[in-house]
Amino acid sequence: MAGDAIRLDGKVAIITGGAGGIGFATAQLMAARGAHVAIADIAAERARELAASLPDAIGLPLDLSDEASIEAMIAATVDHFGRLDILHNNAALLGPEIAQADGDVEHMGTDLWDRTYRVNVRGTMIACRAALPHLRAARGNIVNTVSNLALQGHMIQAAYSSSKAAIIQMTRAIAASHGKAGVRCNAVAPGMTMTPALREAFPHTLREAVEDETLRDQLGDPEDIAEAVAFLASDAARNITGQVLVADGGGASHVPGISRFRAFFSGEQ
């Protein structure tokens, strides 16, 4: 049993935001480990194209700001595959324009704040609510993508980071309320991950600043986060629930300014 516990053979997984970055890397990995995958994304045609590249996968439209769209995603997956074992809530309100507008609270636009919470928090809650009866029947689980920014203060992304902190608490609440029914709920908190969207949204100098504070020798790739998600979704993690797995290359684990200490003790300054 232990040797095969990482496998996902026969399980049905929904990956929201699955048409790119971390989402598609997770879809690929879960499919490779035997899962039937539903890729759900606001870029519906792209989701269908990517699903066609995987064995026994479907692509579905998803608008996280629309309750009916979320419920239709869950229903379509169960109708097609007959069950639901894994819900990976990965989609979020992102993009270069959003990132540029999401600064500190003093300069925060109310519309952006409300839109961020509508998509990230409300949308995730509705997806969990719609999925839970099916997950309870399958003794399945939820893995939420949050962020290491939900665990730290920053001068930017106040809306995004606080919305992800809300999802951490939602993760714990679901784990507590549904654990005895056989449903686990965990979260993965990536750091800066080298997705195409991130490359577009963040200047090179800011990426370098984050990389300097990372304990690895490079920033993480989408495949690194996919490994963490697939592990938590598998029976290998059957004794883990209500937890946040921080997968940020050690960026959130140390005292501030470690890059300067590193330079000092190496004789670089």
Give the pLDDT confidence of 25-72 residue by residue, as tens digits.
999 999 999 999 999 999 999 999 999 999 999 999 999 999 999 999
Longest dimension (CA), the chain: 63
The whole-angstrom separation of Cα 147 and Cα 152 is 9
117 given a catalytic annotation = no
- Domain spans of the chain? 2-265
Q: Which of the following is catalytic: 28, 73, 126, 160?
A: 160
CB contact set of 68 (below 8 Å; sequence gap of 6+): none
Domain 2-265 has CATH 3.40.50.720: yes
Give the pLDDT confidence of 208-262 residue by residue, as tens digits.
888 888 888 888 899 999 999 999 999 999 999 999 999 999 988 887 888 888 8
CB contact set of 11 (below 8 Å; sequence gap of 6+): 34, 35, 36, 85, 86, 140, 233
pTM of the model: 0.93
Beta strands in 62-109 (DSSP E): 86-89
